[in-house]
Structure 1
Amino acid sequence: MKFRASTERFHSQFDWLDSWHSFSFSHHYDPRWMGFGPLRVINDDTVAAGRGFGMHPHQDMEIVTVMVQGQLNHRDSMGHSEVLKAGEVQRMSAGTGVVHSEMNLGEEACRFLQIWIEPDQRDLKPDYEQKPFGIGRDWTALLDPSGRDAAMAISQTLFLWRAKPQPGDELSLPAEGGPMLWLQLIDGALSWTSEQGEPATLVKGDGVGLHRDDPRLHRLRGTDSGADVLLFAMNA
Structure 2
Amino acid sequence: MTDQPRPRAEVRRAAERYRSTPADGVETRHAFSFSGHYDPRNTHFGALLACNEELLAPGAGFEQHRHRDVEIVTWVVEGALAHRDDRGHAGVVRPGMVQYLGAGSGVAHTERNLGGAAEPVRFVQMWLQPDRFDAEPVYGLARPTPDDRGVTLLASGMERDADRGALRLHRRDAALHHVTAGPWQPLPELPDAPFRHLHLLRGSLGFRTGSGPHGTGRDLRPGDSARITGPALVAPTAGEDGAELLLWEMHSALLLG
**TM-score, with length taken from structure 1:** 0.91
| Superposed counterparts of 1:1-236, under 5 Å | 1=8, 2-13=10-21, 15-104=24-113, 105=115, 106-135=117-146, 138-145=150-157, 146=159, 147-156=162-171, 157-175=173-191, 178-193=193-208, 197=215, 199-214=217-232, 217-225=233-241, 227-234=243-250, 235-236=252-253
Runs of 5+ in structure 1 lacking a partner?
Answer: none
Would the aligned equivalents of 2:209 and 2:234 in 1 still touch at CA under 8 Å?
no
Counterpart code for 2:125: Q
Could you tell me how far 1:107 is from its partner in structure 2?
A: 2.1
SS in 1 for 2:181: coil
Report the more deviating stretch, 43-52 or 3-12.
3-12
Secondary structure at the aligned position of 2:164 is classed as helix
What is the number of equivalent residue pairs in this alignment?
A: 233
Q: Return the letter of the residue paired with 2:169.
A: I
Instruction: With a CA cutoff of 8 Å and minimum separation of 6, indicate the structure with the bigger relative contact order.
Output: 2
Deviation digits for residues 111-143 of structure 1, max 9, x if unmatched?
A: 110100010011000010001134466111112
The secondary structure found in structure 2 opposite 1:223 is strand
The alignment partner of 2:15 has SS state of helix
- Indicate conservation of the 8 Å contact 2:191/2:249, yes or no: no
Q: Report the Cα distance in structure 1 between the residues aligned to 2:191 and 2:163, rounded to whole angstroms.
A: 14
CA contact (8 A) 1:58 1:98 kept: yes
CA contact (8 A) 1:140 1:161 kept: yes
Residues 48-68 of structure 1, C-alpha deviations (whole Å, 9 max, x = no match): 011100111111111111111
Cα displacement (A) at 1:167: 1.0
Task: Kindly indicate whether the alpha-carbon contact (under 8 Å) linking 1:172 and 1:218 is maintained by their aligned counterparts in 2.
Answer: no
Partner Cα separation in structure 1 for residue 107 and residue 92 of structure 2: 18
Aligned counterparts of 1:220 and 1:181: Cα–Cα separation in 2: 13
User: Deviations 1:63-82 (Å, cap 9, x if unpaired)?
Assistant: 11111110011111111222
Give the direction of change, closer, same or farther, for the CA distance of 1:51–1:91 in structure 2 (3 Å limit): same
Offset from partner CA, 1:178-203 (integer Å, 9 cap, x none): 31111111222101125655643211
1:173 Cα deviation (Å)?
3.9
Mapped to 2, the partners of 1:197 and 1:94 lie a distance apart of: 41
Percent identity reads 35
